[in-house]
Structure 1
Amino acid sequence: MTIVVAAPKRTMPSLSPLETYLAETGAAIVSRDSCPVPTTLDDRRSCQLWRISASENQLSRSRLAAIGDEQKIDINLQSSEQRLRAYRLAVFDMDSTLIECEVIDLLAERAGVGEQVAAITERAMRGEIDFDQSFIERVGLLSGLSSAVLDELLSSLPFVEGGRELMLSLRSLGIKTVIVSGGFDFFASHVAAVLGMDGYLANTLAIADDKLTGEAVFPIVNADTKRERLLSLVGELGVTAEESIAVGDGANDLKMLSAAGLGVAFHAKPIVRAQADYRVSHTGLDSLLYFLGHRGELAQ
């Protein structure tokens, strides 16, 4: 077993709480090694790999994550099988995963319905209301917004830290990268191009006379669509679902995360953190690299 520890700072904080927990469970620390990080992030990132002699049932993933949360670092437990697996596909949500915003909320602000739409988005991402119905309702509130706003927002999208480094490294490892988003394809195409990704699937905004019509375009990319797209990509590549990675933050990502061989909750809502085997809550997207088991193979 390997414990992967990632911190959003150059110097790793004291890990004595982790040592104490391992001692309490009877897990033996075989080795502790520093893990290489992308050179562009080495001033604000540190990573350690702890080789542990223990069974997977001996340690609690949620307890390890809680210890990390107390120190604002990410601590994940990984089996040797998952660590050494040759992944071939990585599928990503977009909003609040690859970019630091929910685009539909930004559009709503420009339409003067920001608070109303943001509240619906939050409830949908927490799994409190049906995604399809929430999507139809939110898009409806955008009716009449000038399509020129789309281009204005496109130029200022805030990308998540570590995303560029992650995609560069995944490409170097021959891993196909795809966006599967409940957001909008106008923005997904741009994000995929900037990050050098292989493709995208997202919802379409209906526009007429240079204005958003407020009508939802079916089929809506929802939780089922995300899972189905991951599995269809797996089939196209001729690999197994175990050889895929999925990353997301919202309740509509859960089915996709559970279908993948490595499902990662990234700065996710509580319902997603509670169900995902892997959680990244305090560092950037580059932390996915530290799960891949390719020591020294990061693209610098």
Structure 2
Amino acid sequence: MTDDGTGQQARALHVFDMDGTLLAGSACLDLSARAGYLSSVEEMEDAWGRGEIGHVEFYDLLIPLWSELTHEDVDETFAKAGWIEGLREVLADIRSRGERSAVVSLSPHFFVRRLQAWGLDYAYGAGVEIGEPVLPERVYVPETKVTVVADLLAELRLGADRCVVYGDSSSDVPLFQRFPNSIAVNASSSLLPFAHVTYEGPDLASAYALGRSLLGDEAEEPPQP
């Protein structure tokens, strides 16, 4: 689809990283804590972040640790996760303006997609599943984010100037290098040199206000129903 579901073309796209940006910590750590393997996976994530293990190897090691998790476990972990304040309100405001929202994450798609129940339009993440072999071509790397966003903008018939990207870590560097309207949210030092603007704080609405200013229409009122 190239419109907002009402026959009107989408007016802008807001792209969010999930772990560390919308979610304190990471989905993988939260799920691993639920499964009883938090310490082991913390060490794995540290090694992953240092480049000592690759993205596919990380999931090859991780997925077996989640073998006992049920859909109910995942639902409860999602509901109890440390989401940033104002997330649902921001997603609602984006949609009210005829714009679209997307989350593009290296974490599992089965976790990311649950945000659609809160008003997210597009969910993208690693195509791994509990109890199934890891397919390398379905595991995301940082460069995958650029491809996903470029394809989505083409589908929506939007230029890069109508896209705002929000992230927090080195995995967002390729995205920030490609799309100039970029906001570092509670970010690591590795991302800050690539950000157009930065935000530190607990409220997504404040970071989103910066995004609106980059679009040049921060004073615009949401369309009336």
Q: TM-score range by the shorter chain?
A: 0.7 to 0.9
Unaligned runs of 5+ in 2: 1-9
Match of 2:196 in 1: 277
Does the Cα contact within 8 Å between 1:131 and 1:222 map onto a contact in 2?
A: no
Match of 1:154 in 2: 78
SS at match of 2:182: strand
Match of 2:55 in 1: 132
Query: Greater shift after overlay, 248-257 or 135-144?
Result: 135-144
The 5 Å alignment of 1:95-106 reads: 95-106=19-30
Deviation at 1:200, TM superposition (A): 0.8
Match of 2:16 in 1: 92
How far apart in 2 are the matches of 1:150 and 1:101?
16
Deviation at 1:165, TM superposition (A): 2.8
More helix by share: 2
Q: Which of residues 170, 173, 177 is equivalent to 1:251?
A: 170
Match of 1:290 in 2: 210
Query: Greater shift after overlay, 227-236 or 256-265?
Result: 256-265
Query: Greater shift after overlay, 177-186 or 278-287?
Result: 278-287
Deviating beyond 6 angstroms after TM superposition, the runs of 4 or more aligned structure 1 residues are none
Q: Which of residues 87, 104, 124 is equivalent to 1:163?
A: 87
CA RMSD after TM alignment: 2.7
Size of the aligned set, in residue pairs, is 208
How far apart in 1 are the matches of 2:198 and 2:53?
24
How far apart in 2 are the matches of 1:277 and 1:131?
29
Does the Cα contact within 8 Å between 1:136 and 1:216 map onto a contact in 2?
A: yes
Unaligned runs of 5+ in 1: 1-85
How far apart in 1 are the matches of 2:33 and 2:142?
25
1:278–1:296: structure 2 CA closer, same or farther, 3 Å change rule? closer
1:164–1:140: structure 2 CA closer, same or farther, 3 Å change rule? closer
Deviation at 1:87, TM superposition (A): 6.6
Match of 1:179 in 2: 103
How far apart in 1 are the matches of 2:86 and 2:47?
27
How far apart in 2 are the matches of 1:283 and 1:155?
18
Deviation at 1:149, TM superposition (A): 2.4
SS at match of 1:270: coil
Match of 1:267 in 2: 186
How far apart in 1 are the matches of 2:218 and 2:73?
44
1:136–1:241: structure 2 CA closer, same or farther, 3 Å change rule? same
* Structure of higher CA gyration radius: 1
Counterpart code for 2:37: V
Q: Which of residues 109, 126, 134 is equivalent to 1:216?
A: 134
How far apart in 1 are the matches of 2:221 and 2:84?
19
Provide TM-score, normalisation by structure 1: 0.61
CA deviation map 1:237-262 (0-9, x unaligned): 22222321111122222111222231
Deviation at 1:231, TM superposition (A): 0.5
More strand by share: 1
How far apart in 2 are the matches of 1:283 and 1:107?
23
How far apart in 2 are the matches of 1:185 and 1:269?
24
Match of 2:153 in 1: 234
Counterpart code for 1:135: F
CA deviation map 1:260-284 (0-9, x unaligned): 2311121122211233222212242
Does the Cα contact within 8 Å between 2:21 and 2:166 map onto a contact in 1?
A: yes
